Amino acid sequence: MRKIDVRKIEMSGPDDTRALKSLIDEGAVDPRTIIAVLGKTEGNGCVNDFTRGLATLAFKRLIAAETGWPEEEVSRKVAFVMSGGTEGVLAPHALVFCSIEAEGEPSAEKTLAASSGFTRDFLPEEQGTMAVVEECRRVTLELMEKAGIADPADVHFVQIKCPLLTSERILDAQERGCEVVVHDTYESMGYNRGASALGVALALGEIPEGSVSDEVICSDWSLYSKVASTSAGVELLNCEIILMGNSTAFDSDFAIGHSVMRDAIDIEAVIEAVENAGMKVDGLPTAEQKALIVNALAKAEADSTGYVRARRNTMHTDSDINHTRHARAAVGGVISAAVGDPMVYVSGGAEHQGPDGGGPVAVIVRR
């Protein structure tokens, strides 16, 4: 038997690992059991957001120092998924997932299961294409098996960190006579996010076999996953994946549930995710129930129409602030109000992750 332990830690800056160090020093966390670190950093979430790489490096070095493993080995064992952008009330933080050996027999009740893994590195010309789709599909299926999850319905959140194109990477492809999917580096984030999400959707049977091709990526918005959450960054060339669900193969003190926000103010979907995790709520969670909510994780997207419930907004027409930043702030406020805590994980850019203007939302609760 194994169990998943989840620790939410506050960060005063992208390189602040003091909270995790304290947990390790106290014996509350064995660094050798850490399988993933999922963080929200305070950069802009765009191409030039280096807070993601800084946070990854800081946590990687801490774990290396505490385990005695070389940093290369840490990179093979631990998935570091850092999402930039803590606009509005969103609080910078990290979730640390540990997979721990547990005594006893398998539980009849499904509890939190999590696994992490990696795709291969992608060439610039492969980014945002079927190469990413197929690799994410393959690894998602592997991680389901690793987590002891047979039914796709028991998968509630698949968090992916994928690469993006830079000027140097585009030039590299051109010098080798290859063409990239898009020359705008910011747009390349969306293509990679979308391709990664479609890989999850295929793996879980959310969309039909044969429905995905290079042509439909960031084009056919009817194809999407209800549990994929993907984020792009300059700090990597592969995809790092954290799969979360419930399984009888784990005897964890936590459970996870999910729903899909149909738009940026869909607070009802947040409550549905809480209840899907096994917590019965009458209206909003009580103070006692809020104390049992470990974290909420969601995707945020500005509706392409420029409207939310027939009301016009300016997210797509603000030339000063990118629409993904507006969306994170708006959705972050809604979810924070629902769960009573602004330290929630909200990632912007939901290409093929939920319906237009909406996105998946998951909640981890203590049982």
Give me the active site residues, please: 161, 231
SS3 content of the chain, % helix, strand, coil (to 5): 30, 25, 40
Burial 328-367 (b: 16+ CB within 10 A, else e): bbbbbbbbbebbebbbbbbbbbbbbbbbbbbbbbbbbbee
What are the beta bridge partners of residue 7?
Answer: 96
- Burial of 50 per CB tally in 10 Å (0-12, 13-18, 19+): middle
Burial of 186 (C-beta count, 10 Å sphere; 0-12/13-18/19+): middle
Q: Which amino acid is at 22?
A: S
Q: How far apart are CA 355 and CA 103, in angstroms?
A: 42
Provide the CA 137 distance to its chain's centre, in angstroms. Answer: 16
